[in-house]
Structure formats: structure tokens, C-alpha cells
Amino acid sequence: MTPDLSPAECEARLRLHALPELGPRRFRRLLEAFGSASAALSAPAATWRSLGLPAACAEPRRDAAIREQAAEVLRWLEVPNHHLVMWDAPDYPALLGELDDAPPLLFVAGEPALLERPQLAMVGCRKASKPGLDTARAFARSLAGGGFVITSGLALGIDGAAHEGALEAGGGTVAVLGTGLEQLYPRRHIGLAQRIVEQGGAVISELPLNCAPQASNFPRRNRIISGLSLGTLVVEASPSSGSLITARLAAEQGREVYAIPGSIHHPGARGCHELIRQGATLVETVEHILEGLRGWTQSAPAVQTTPTLPAHPLVELLRAAPQSSEQLALRSGLELPQVLVELTELELDGRVACEAGVWVHRAP
């Protein structure tokens, strides 16, 4: 939470968040108009109407049920590994904060610091083929092993495989829910969600803790998946797949969009083929993703991978001592996203390895 946020203001924000029909834009409009959630709750209903807010927002704000919902969140926050990240807090993820409709708060089970690390979204259809699942797991394993956080929606199919691949590599993964954290869906992935939290990942939602599954909330959560990420990779998708919504949102947000092609006879490949026709990067290897991410750094040198194993500044730093990605960025002078790109390529070449969260030099 915002360090200087008083308990009363925190409770007031939670009450605002619990109001019906009060989305992210209206939430911010109230804070900008009144300066605080406490002042907004105390203002006359007529003032709310003058801001264009419907009566459905203003009338229930003093109800006992709204107060109790806020109190439930405060009790939930007393449990270890439970966090609340506000949109104006220093630790709010910067990329997500660029969105006009960025969530005013995020409920987080697990490690909130993971949200600030460079992320790649991996999405696809729920009824994925075995090759599609294997591909998602392999790409996630490579990218997470290279230092990228794998972000997805915890759905069956490609989403679950992406989370699994990241966990297999000992890397970070973020699951964005379309329900409240106390109403986890699908139920078959309760165990996966627990493992994500236990292994240093995060399960997050913008929705009230007890918000049950509603069809309209899943497309809404997709903007968070793409908004957190440098790019979105669609592994397998039919033309009607919700993952195409995530890809479209990523493009609108100015992020990279990648798609893995498949057989023209496989219905699960048609969505990816449509994305490629619309300009998404065709991906066959991890390198194709890394090439696109180089555009996120101002002066990215061309990475050479030749049999002669040319000198590399990150390898030289790791020869001296094992280091984290952040330490390497600080000592090399490179931007962190570029360091992660370089480390992933070096790991694929067998020159470095990630062990217990730190990078080590691997002798040829």
C-alpha cells in the first residue's frame, strides 16, 4: 500500500472500490475531484451527480454492507503473503500504470515485487492440443529461466501450461484472475495457484475478494495481463478465443504481439494466423521474441552467438561472482530488460545458468 496512506483513507478507498458501477476511471475522477477517498465519501450525492456519476454509485456508499466488505479486506490483509497495491503507490507496476483504465488497486497473494519485473504474457485457447501445451511449457520454461516473469490468466489449456513451464524453470510467474482471490476459478487450478504463491510467484485480481465468476470480467482482466507485459505471445487460438482480445489490447497499448503458427488444418492455429496477417510477429523460436524486445532498450547491441564464444560483459561479470539480474544491470550499465534478453540468449548457448535465483557462469 501507499506508505503515507492512513488507515482511514485506506478503508475509504476500499469502500469506494466496493461500490457498484464505479470502475477505474470513475474511481480516479472522484479522487481527483475531492483529493481523497474520505472526502469523496463525505460529499453530497448532488456533487457526485455533477461529476456524471450515477445514483447507483452514490446511494450505497454509507451502507453497512459496503463497510463490512472493506473490513473483510482489512482482515484479509492481516494474513501473511496478502497485499494491496494502490495505483498511486511507488510499487505499482509502471507499465500497467500507463493505461487509462489501470486498476485503482490490486489484490495480491504472493510476491508483489514480481509485478515490477519485466514480464511476458503467454495466452491461448483452453482446449489446446498436446503439441500446443508442450510448446507453451517449453517457451515459458526458457523465458522464465532467462529472467522474464511469465504472466497469464490461470485458465485451463495454454495459460496453465505457461505457468507450469515457468515454475519448472524456477522462475517467476503471475496469474491474473477474472474473479476475486477468494473465489478462484477454475477450481481445477487451485493447486496450481497455491504452488505459484509458494514458489515466489503472485496471484492477483482487481476484483473484490468474493467476486464470483462472471463472463464479463474475463475480457476485462485481459487488459491487465497485456498491460503488465512487454509483449504478448499467443501460442494456440481459435478465431473466437479470448486470447485474441488480449493480443488486440496489447497492440492498442503499444506492446509487442507474437503468434506461433500451426497447421492450416488445425482450428487452433487460425487465430494465430489471423494475428500474423494483422502484423503480429511470427514466432518459431525464443530468439524471435527476444529480437522484438530489443526495441524496448535505447542502445541494444547486436547479440552475437558464434562457435568462437566471443567475450561478453555479462559473462565476464559472472566469472567474478554469481549475481542477480538487478546486480548485473547495475554493474554493466545496461537496462534491465536488455540484461534479461542477453541472459536468456547466453543461457540458450550454455554459457550461464540461473541457480537459486542468481546467475552463475557455466564453464564450456
Q: Report the pLDDT value the prediction gives residue 46, as an integer from 0 to 100.
A: 87
Q: Angle formed by the axes of helices 130-145 and 286-293, to 10°?
A: 50
Provide the percentage of residues in the chain whose pLDDT is more than 70. 94
Omega within 30 of 0 (cis) for the link into 44: no
Q: How confident is the model at residue 309 (pLDDT cuts 50, 70, 90)?
A: low
Q: Report the C-alpha gap between 175 and 154 in whole angstroms.
A: 5
Integer CA distances (angstroms), 119 to 105, 140, 189, 230, 255, in order: 19, 11, 21, 6, 11
Q: Residue for cell digits 515454475?
A: 167
pLDDT of residue 320: 75
Check: CB of residue 163 under 8 Å from CB of residue 140: yes
| CA pair distance 161, 264, nearest whole angstrom | 23
In the predicted model, is pLDDT for residue 362 greater than 70? yes
Give residues with Cβ within 8 angstroms of 71, minimum separation 6.
Answer: 11
* Summary mean pLDDT of the chain: 89
175 close to 196: Cβ distance less than 8 angstroms? yes
- Range with the poorest average pLDDT among 169-178, 224-233, 247-256, 292-301: 292-301
pLDDT on residue 352: 85
Place 299 in a pLDDT band, splitting at 50, 70 and 90.
Answer: very low
Average pLDDT over residues 162-183: 97
